[in-house]
Structure 1
């Protein structure tokens, strides 16, 4: 992995062959373990899950560290090159929530691809009907959220196995939102205050397993279609919430073998990040470290007629949050 310049400092979860993963601050191309600031009051510096669990206490101190020029100087002086470490997923959540069908562009594209295609005589009517349905749902509906097993999370530079029975394995680059403190019955206006940070996620999905042919009346099967091991590459790092002025300006993108396949903007979401957090908090209790995958823009493999196969290189990123590189293998 080549060194990647980063400013300002962000959280990474790294390890060596001799130690378990531990949280660190990354600045430019060097890292320094958070345990170096334990005496200054940071808690849970032994693991990323412990650190996020104490986010309420850690956040203010970490913010001061991140904005201090002396912190960058200390990392450059006492830190080590990021290339000396393995980089893991920057969060190990208790729960993973995935918001489905949440970008206007993706829903419109899917509607245009249906029936007689994007250039057929009925395409305009399908587009208009879809836009009308989106606005009706925006006005009267709520987010559609499924659970994805936390065991499927993998690091940002790991391999992805594409089995011979996975001919419709697809990509979905998304803005990942990591919860920083317990949230229940949260108002939309306060929802962003419950975020610890943002990261890149790729919600790998096996399209032909979304609906079970052997049980068509039971609806979607998110276990078979989304939750196998390695089907949520996450990271490379966690950008603290104070570094993102407006999450609606975040720009997710994905390249397959260097070719741009997805290119979106978070303002295209039907339900904003704040609205998703508020909705989830009214259905369940969100806890520190929980991960919300907030939806994907247009440009899925199902649109391009091209799914993942062995040998593919998938680069998924969000401007300002870094990018991941996953190689597909047999």
Structure 2
């Protein structure tokens, strides 16, 4: 398991609290943290949202602070680490890794149509290139589902098939509307790890016919979006096209794939979202999850499970699953 705070570049952002104290934005340099809430050169921000609202102006100030050895740095191990972002909007791209989509189609196939699993997988693979002629499939999530990178994940008492979906997420750094794919990454402040948990049995509404997917019920339980630990600036990871996404369940590797397997790349997803809505500073744009989800493994989440998750250059998170108290 990688060091939780081993990040690309010289600095990153977090939100932390000391025991009994308020949550504050912090500059992180690997294993050290600097409280930013009393820094007048940053406007004494109360959260990373205040920093992201002025990202283009404040990023060079943060870089200069990271080099200040005389600042009041403290060991990061002495803090509780929260989600590094508080988005107003969450955009979630579905079925966006080739192998993952093929695995899901095969897992849902019951054989009643006479096709073999091999035929189903081949047809799904052929469909991947056809999808590029259409926009990405994106839905919106609720900020209330977010929890911290080391918080417990609460499995709903009435849930039957809780599953993991580790994802790379872009954090928006400026108001963005109708940006082109060529310019879309210029609107990104940085990157963060998000585990987009799902109740599989609630994704498809069998009673709804053409109304299709029920993303509200399947995706938005409290703690179903562990986020963090760090917001790593885009300047440290300028190209997200080959980052390794790894999830271990109780020590066993379940997901281990590169973002090279994306159907729509990060820029295309952001461009599409910006044609539909105005993206705001601090918003999250999730890019989809690679192969290796629990449904494909035949092993879904249960109380006591520990998920250890990492993405190249972004640190690592670890969450234990617990039963919902009724």
Q: 1:147 to 1:10 in 2, by over 3 A?
A: same
Match of 1:321 in 2: 314
Match of 2:174 in 1: 181
**Greater relative contact order: 1 or 2 (C-alpha under 8 angstroms, separation 6 or more)?**
2
1:142-161 correspondence to structure 2 within 5 Å: 142-161=135-154
Structure 1 position 207 matched with structure 2 position 209: no
Structure 1 position 91 matched with structure 2 position 75: no
How many Å apart are 1:259 and its aligned residue?
A: 0.5
Q: Deviations over 1:115-172 (max 9, x none)?
A: 478xx9834432332222110111x111000111111111001011123322200000
1:1-330 correspondence to structure 2 within 5 Å: 4-6=5-7, 8-35=10-37, 38-39=39-40, 41-43=41-43, 45-66=45-66, 70-71=67-68, 73-74=69-70, 78-115=72-109, 122-138=116-132, 140-330=133-323
Q: TM-score, normalised by structure 1?
A: 0.90
Contact 1:178/1:290, CA 8 A, preserved across alignment: yes
Give me the whole-angstrom Cα distance separating, in 1, the residues matched to 2:128 and 2:35.
Answer: 46
Give me the whole-angstrom Cα distance separating, in 2, the residues matched to 1:145 and 1:134.
Answer: 16
Q: 1:114 to 1:81 in 2, by over 3 A?
A: same
Contact 2:4/2:317, CA 8 A, preserved across alignment: no
Give me the whole-angstrom Cα distance separating, in 2, the residues matched to 1:296 and 1:316.
Answer: 12
Select between 320-329 and 215-224 the one with higher mean Cα deviation.
Answer: 215-224
Q: Deviations over 1:33-83 (max 9, x none)?
A: 1246x34x32352211111112122123223444xxx33x345xx211112
Q: Secondary structure at the match of 1:242?
A: coil
Q: TM-score, normalised by structure 2?
A: 0.91
Give me the whole-angstrom Cα distance separating, in 1, the residues matched to 2:5 and 2:289.
Answer: 25
Q: Deviations over 1:175-201 (max 9, x none)?
A: 011000010010111100000110100
How many Å apart are 1:248 and its aligned residue?
A: 0.5
How many Å apart are 1:30 and its aligned residue?
A: 1.4
Select between 217-226 and 5-14 the one with higher mean Cα deviation.
Answer: 5-14
Aligned residues: 318
How many Å apart are 1:218 and its aligned residue?
A: 2.5
Q: Secondary structure at the match of 1:303?
A: helix
Q: Which runs of 5+ in 2 are unaligned?
A: none
Give me the whole-angstrom Cα distance separating, in 2, the residues matched to 1:311 and 1:280.
Answer: 37
Q: Which runs of 5+ in 1 are unaligned?
A: none
Give me the whole-angstrom Cα distance separating, in 1, the residues matched to 2:317 and 2:160.
Answer: 23
Give me the whole-angstrom Cα distance separating, in 2, the residues matched to 1:192 and 1:324.
Answer: 25
Give me the whole-angstrom Cα distance separating, in 1, the residues matched to 2:84 and 2:31.
Answer: 17
Contact 1:99/1:295, CA 8 A, preserved across alignment: yes
Q: Secondary structure at the match of 1:132?
A: helix
Select between 25-34 and 252-261 the one with higher mean Cα deviation.
Answer: 25-34
Q: Give the number of the structure whose residues are more often helix, by fraction.
A: 1
